[in-house]
């Protein structure tokens, strides 16, 4: 889905939330590789991101045309800072009330409260789109993300031990949900 661009001032900076266009494809792919290299808390290593620009553009188009998905980019003073997204679990009517989200900010833009503002916006759009439950997965060691999700009202509902091994360290995966 496509939502209207929103511009706010946050800590003296201009913050823009907007959907991606295919022209963002190359930049988004580079940023995706960069952020996976910066944090151990995403699902893959940077050298495992083998998407082409064409595939990234197709991903953007799919997100924009599918009424059950939203890909929201965040820009701070004109610089790309990261993105958040949700996707509905609408493959059957039985699960169509649920969606799951993801978020990844470039390291330079973490730790300043931007994640919370972006997710509040995302959750509002998910509710507007008719979803009743938002779900997510987070590594146990990702203290910052877990704090943020708890502040936003997410509740833990299970975990998978030894879910991922990152640089020789084993991470459990925690599942969380929030009623919208
Ligand atoms: C996780 C992420 C979305 C959080 O967004 P953010 O804007 O950086 O988070 P905030 O600055 O709002 O901080 C969130 C909370 O963690 C706390 N915090 C900040 N830095 C911290 C740190 N280094 N260690 C522990 N807690 C920290 C903040 O005080 C805040 O607590 P509060 O919500 O109770 O006030 C963002 O850091 C990010 O994209 N990280 C990289 C990718 C990632 O981990 N994605 C999530 C995968 S599940």
CB of 73 closer than 6 angstroms to any ligand 1 atom: no
Tens digit of pLDDT at every position of the chain (180 positions): 999 999 999 999 999 999 999 999 999 999 999 999 999 999 999 999 999 999 999 999 999 999 999 999 999 999 999 999 999 999 999 999 999 999 999 999 999 999 999 999 999 999 999 999 999 999 999 999 999 999 999 999 999 999 999 989 999 999 999 999
CATH 3.30.420.40 fits 6-131, yes or no: no
Ligand 1 centroid, distance to 90 Cα (angstroms): 29
Helical pair 25-38 and 53-65, crossing angle rounded to 10 deg: 100
pLDDT digits (tens, 9 = 90+) for 120-129: 999 999 999 9
Model pTM above 0.75: yes
Sketch the domain layout of the chain as residue ranges: 6-131
CB of 107 closer than 6 angstroms to any ligand 1 atom: no
Please give the number of the atom of ligand 1 that sits closest to the Cα of 111.
11
CB of 122 closer than 6 angstroms to any ligand 1 atom: no
CB of 129 closer than 6 angstroms to any ligand 1 atom: no
Ligand 1 centroid, distance to 2 Cα (angstroms): 26
């Amino acid at each position: 889905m496509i939502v209207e661009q929103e511009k706010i001032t946050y800590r003296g900076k201009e913050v823009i939330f907007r959907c991606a266009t295919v022209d963002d494809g190359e930049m988004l792919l580079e940023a995706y590789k960069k952020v996976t290299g910066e944090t151990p808390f995403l699902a893959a290593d940077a050298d495992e991101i083998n998407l082409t620009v064409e595939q990234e553009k197709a991903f953007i188009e799919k997100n924009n045309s599918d009424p059950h998905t939203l890909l929201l980019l965040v820009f701070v003073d004109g610089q790309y800072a990261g993105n958040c997204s949700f996707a509905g679990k609408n493959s059957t009517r039985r699960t169509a009330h649920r969606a799951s989200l993801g978020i990844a900010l470039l390291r330079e833009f973490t730790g300043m409260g931007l994640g919370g503002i972006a997710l509040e916006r995302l959750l509002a759009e998910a509710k507007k789109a008719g979803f009743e439950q938002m779900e997510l997965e987070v590594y146990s060691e990702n203290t910052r993300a877990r704090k943020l999700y708890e502040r936003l009202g997410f509740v833990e509902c299970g975990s998978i031990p030894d879910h991922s091994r990152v640089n020789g360290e084993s991470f459990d995966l925690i599942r969380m949900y929030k009623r919208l």
